[in-house]
Amino acid sequence: MKKKIIELYRQKRKILVSNEERWKHFQIICIFITLGITSLFMSAVNFFTHQGTFTWVTLGFAIACIIDLFLYRLRGYAAKAALVLFAVEILAIFIYFITSGIPDGFSVLWIAMLPCFGLLMFGMRNGILISILMFLLLIFFFWTPFGGELLMYQYNATFKMRFPILYLAFFVVALLFEIIRLQAISALKESRQKYEFLCFHDTLTGLYNRFWLQTITGNQDKYQIKPSAVAVLDIDNFKYFNDNFGHLNGDIVIREIGQKILETMNGSGDLCRWGGDEFLIFFHTDIDAETVCKRIVDAVRSHEFIFNGEHMSTTLTVGLAIAPDGGTEKADELIRQADINLYSAKDKGKNCTVSSQLTA
């Protein structure tokens, strides 16, 4: 039981971390929870140490964090409103910390946390603006005569001189870490995109591969595949090209015919390399698949290859299975019937299309 729980936790963690948006959403929720709990704890401490107004300020901030958390979990405009409210709240409470100095000048130290979570919560641009605004407020209160008159606590000169510099150092470090984090996410996203492309595409033709086909047909709930027809296409006499002109030229035949099929389809479906010298088409709904297949057969027949100065051409044989009522979720049955029809077309002498409608 314990192992199952641990494994379930690991799977959920992988799903969470693999999605940058969800991961950031989770991190911001953790920040709200952490600051809320910390403020509640500090409110209790302030209450028992008789800090008066400071108790109600920290308690109010804890309640505000709870409200922000609730709004943020609603997502959309509510989440954006939560971040705006939180930015106002955090600046307000930090100004109170500076001016009041309660207790004994300690609370102002919490301001050094702002850059580390501000850049994450508000984004790079807004996080920098809020962090710089906080730095300017520190300069105003600690380094200008007018700001100093607003202070209700007597900070010593050394602290007032050094704390803004310390805050600036925290801000620079947090900024560097955020830049590194964003670069790492960008590199990870690029690597994931390359991996997904290599995973779902054939390296020779650049078309979808068989694994892509197995993935979408095996996950009907996710991909909602409902093809109107499926065609399996086979290059006729392909062995002749490999035996007489070599495998490299055989690859050229596969690649060029794949592109010719794709061009002739004109967006009427999804094309994948089924394997070897075979291709497969998932036709979209409301498409006259039989007419498209006939155009593909004609286009391939008229296409020429030049090997060692010799003009060559080949033909294509197609097995087509058409779904009833414009589409079906039984993609596997369509593929199976299209494959049967392909062999029937081969028996008829190749260079043709044999089609049939799948029974409901």
What's phi and psi for 280, nearest 5 deg? -140, 140
Active-site residue flag, 277: yes
Contact, 228 vs 343, CB < 8 A? no
Q: State how far the Cα of 202 lies from the Cα of 271, in Å rounded to an integer.
A: 11
Return the structure tokens found at 229: 């027809």
Contact, 199 vs 211, CB < 8 A? yes
Residues with Cβ < 8 Å from 10, sequence gap 6 or more? none
Return the structure tokens found at 153: 């606590």
Q: State how far the Cα of 257 lies from the Cα of 312, in Å rounded to an integer.
A: 13
- DSSP letter at 327 equals -
Which ranges of the chain does DSSP label H, i.e. alpha helix?
Answer: 2-18, 20-48, 53-73, 76-100, 114-143, 145-149, 157-200, 210-218, 220-223, 238-245, 247-265, 289-302, 331-347
Q: State how far the Cα of 32 lies from the Cα of 74, in Å rounded to an integer.
A: 14
CB atoms within 10 A of CB 356: 14
The catalytically annotated residue of 68, 104, 277, 325 is: 277
Return the structure tokens found at 291: 């007419």
Which of 234, 256, 233, 252 has its CA nearest to residue 242?
A: 252
Q: State how far the Cα of 333 lies from the Cα of 252, in Å rounded to an integer.
A: 32
- Its sign, for the CA torsion 87, 90, 96, 97, is negative
| Enzyme catalytic residues | 277
